[in-house]
Structure 1
């Protein structure tokens, strides 16, 4: 008893070892290239604010402007729901959560812009000021979860200026106490992998100069040119860019208007749901899958300003584009105006709340080995857990209701989402 029953085999045990030895390089390569999602929170949006405009109260100002817009154009849940086509069941929960979010955390990710949106005359001064303001915000608790800058690109006419601005900004942060945990940098208009390599060398040298741990500084790659999707040799350049980043790439951000213009799309049709945009983002998504690099959608330039009718029309457009992106697994996008934020959060909260009960029950059935109408596999359980955790991260869902419907503790839920989520939870204890 207790011994495994002997069965007949034809291959010697050493053969399995030979196979494993032959695949060891592939195993290592898979682990290096495809570590999986980092398991950390992903912001639902990125807000861009010109460097000369950014102030200590910018985040609170955006929240206040968004709340004022609701007060003026959708003062109650019924009105807001009617504008966006929300169901009666979702109307109050979504509206109440949107208002609470705007009061508590109106911006999840803020990028001080020193590229296209920058019109200042003293870039050194504005970069140094941005560093001090961001450092102060993290110290006094008024920062967004993620903050940083978008520098100028690595193209020859602006390269030196971009390098200097990044140096001034990072140096300012170091002098103010060190790099904040939520620091994010964006490198725009990347066309060749060599430009990514140059960015790697740049932050690598800064780390050495300032005595930082190797790999401390990561960055996002902004996809705004056709060459960044398809190279002259017919290959997907964006995949080479991720490799060139040497593990430092944190995201791929789609630039709606620069990319559309690059392809010759006329201004009236430049939008995140244009077929050209769908093609680019699909390539980005496939290239990034499993690498730990996250994909972000672009923005709309139709602003919710003017009469109530005009605001409602712009809100409907923004809401629809955001919901469309979420269904395609683009969980982050850009917001260009404070009045975009109400519909950003409305779309995100509706997306998670309307699918919450079904996802929770499916995950509970999987966890308890209960047969149901849908037969789920481990990969689906991972997706279900990830969906619930994203809803928790942004405030669409509450821990209590997720625990109640799934029967899972937060720690166990995170283990279903993947080892990196579980590792982060364990290390935080």
Structure 2
């Protein structure tokens, strides 16, 4: 008997276009924010050197005890090779310069003079919510003009952070402004990431099912701003923390609305640095930062903000330990499922197997294995 479901083909095509099956791609484990007036051509190497110096305060055995894995040497190699995976030049909250136009030029020249740019890099402009979109767009345009002039084009990996999106309409306005910049400066398509920093943003995310589609691929990521968000919720200062239940709710909304459409998600930061350069204070900071990174990972957020060179050590250590702790067990479960046998008395569901394979591929990418070991899973 022929069954006719009117309109099915059109709906199914829409589903496949909007929610395609996506392979796990490389994503930076962090975004490092540096105030624009403090950026220099040596910022990346300076942060790596300072972090490596702090790493030298501990022995590999002490480090393993602190982070629960044999990751000391791996972290040391990362700090020497690629201490910052994603650099954001900050013209918003962290920026305190007196002359934004001059600092914008100096920042662009610092970028052009960097021996090697991070795999991702860009700038955070001022929020439209501040009431002066012209200021934000003038800085963005001037920065791009100077970088393109010095480099002969826009280097790969560029992204723009658009903060404090209190009104959904700001997203469309910003996207149209980017299209104008592309036309005027002969640039490739400019992607951007929005920051979720207020309950108003969570509300319109829940009410706007076509938000990502309407931005036509420009929205690449969404970053959670823990301190603005908790302050906007009226939480007292001692409760303005990344692992507060209010933040868990916001992150879950971001996951349900944005993740299925391929938008990358990033967690926020720990606004703290070691009280001094003493070993005791550095270890205390690492323990505190490690707790927040583990909380993010447990909630499916594989990227976060780092605000101080000390954070690089604990960030990489926790991420590496997280992936290594489960790697062999996950692979055994997948291989057991593929062989149609049980592993440890557990018969995994197909959805669980997909999650395990995704976790293994994400681990390969984070550990620098380029998914070679999971290519046949």
Q: Are the structure 2 counterparts of residues 191 and 36 from structure 1 closer, same or farther at C-alpha, using a change threshold of 3 Å?
A: farther
1:237 Cα deviation from its structure 2 partner? 5.1
Per-residue deviation at 1:196? 0.4
Q: Distance in 2 between matches of 1:333 and 1:44?
A: 7
Corresponding residue number in structure 2 for 1:417: none
* Change over 3 Å in CA distance of 1:364–1:177 after alignment to 2: farther
1:219 maps onto 2:192 in alignment = yes
CA shift for structure 1 position 383: 2.2
Match of 1:111 in 2: 88
1:325–1:394 CA distance, 2 compared to 1 (3 A): same
1:60 equivalent in alignment to 2:48: no
After superposition, the Cα gap between the structure-2 partners of 1:241 and 1:311, relative to the gap in structure 1 and judged at 3 Å, is farther
Question: For residues 343 and 28 of structure 1, do their structure 2 counterparts lie closer, same or farther at Cα, with a shift above 3 Å needed?
Answer: same
Quick one: distance in 2 between partners of 1:135 and 1:241? 34
Of 259, 270, 279, the residue aligned with 1:300 is: 270
Match of 1:342 in 2: 313
The CA deviation string for residues 129-165 of structure 1, in whole angstroms up to 9 with x for no partner, is 333433443xx4x211110000111125231110111
Note closer, same or farther for the CA distance 1:238–1:322 as it changes in structure 2 (3 Å cut): farther
CA contact (8 A) 2:193 2:220 kept: yes
TM-superposed CA distance for 1:241, in Å, is: 4.3
Q: Tell me if 1:151 matches 2:125.
A: yes
1:242 paired to 2:227: no
Q: CA deviation at 1:300?
A: 0.8
Does residue 126 (structure 1) correspond to residue 109 (structure 2)? The answer is no
2:276 is aligned with 1:276: no
Aligned in 2, Cα 1:198/1:118: closer, same or farther, shift over 3 Å? same
The CA distance in 1 between the partners of 2:167 and 2:21, in whole Å, is 25
Map 1:190-339 to 2 at 5 A.
Answer: 190-213=165-188, 216-231=189-204, 236=206, 241-306=211-276, 307-339=278-310
| Number of residue pairs the alignment of both structures matches | 374
Query: Between Structure 1 and Structure 2, whose CA radius of gyration is higher?
Result: 1
- Distance in structure 2 (CA, Å) of the matches to 1:170 and 1:370: 56
Q: Supply the distance in 2 between the matched residues of 1:368 and 1:104 (Cα, whole angstroms).
A: 39
Cα displacement (A) at 1:125: 2.6
Q: CA deviation at 1:351?
A: 0.3
Residue by residue over 1:306-332, the C-alpha shift from the partner in whole angstroms, topping out at 9 and shown as x without a partner, is 243222222111111111211111000
- 2:230–2:246 CA contact under 8 A, matched in 1: yes
Query: Whole-Å Cα distance in 2 between the matches of residues 228 and 301 of structure 1?
Result: 22
Task: Give the equivalent residue in structure 1 for 2:66.
Answer: 83
Bigger drift between 218-227 and 310-319 goes to 310-319
Which deviations, in whole Å up to 9, do the C-alpha atoms of 1:285-344 show, x marking residues without a partner?
A: 111132110111111112223243222222111111111211111000001100111110
Over residues 356-378 of structure 1, what are the superposed CA-to-partner deviations in whole Å (9 max), with x where a residue is unaligned?
A: 10112222234444443433444
- For structure 2, the 5+ residue unaligned runs are none
Task: Provide the residue aligned with 2:333 in structure 1.
Answer: 362
Distance 1:33 1:173, change over 3 A: farther
What corresponds to 1:5 in structure 2? none
Whole-angstrom CA distance in 1 between matches of 2:207 and 2:334: 37
Q: Distance in 2 between matches of 1:172 and 1:35?
A: 38
Contact 2:71 2:317 in 1 (8 A): yes
In the alignment, the residues of structure 2 paired with residue 317 and residue 157 of structure 1 have an alpha-carbon distance, to the nearest angstrom, of 36
Residue deviations 1:177-225 (CA, integer Å, cap 9, x gap): 2222211110000011100001110111122223445xx2111010111
Instruction: Compute the TM-score of the two structures, normalised by the length of structure 2.
Output: 0.92
Q: Offset at 1:239? A: 5.2
CA 1:41–1:399: 2 relative to 1, 3 Å = closer
Alignment check: 8 A CA contact 2:24 2:361 kept: no
Q: Is the 8 A contact 1:135 1:177 kept in 2?
A: no
- Report SS of the residue matched to 2:221: strand
Q: 2:142 aligns with which of 130, 146, 168?
A: 168
Please give the root-mean-square deviation of Cα atoms over the aligned residues, in Å. 2.2
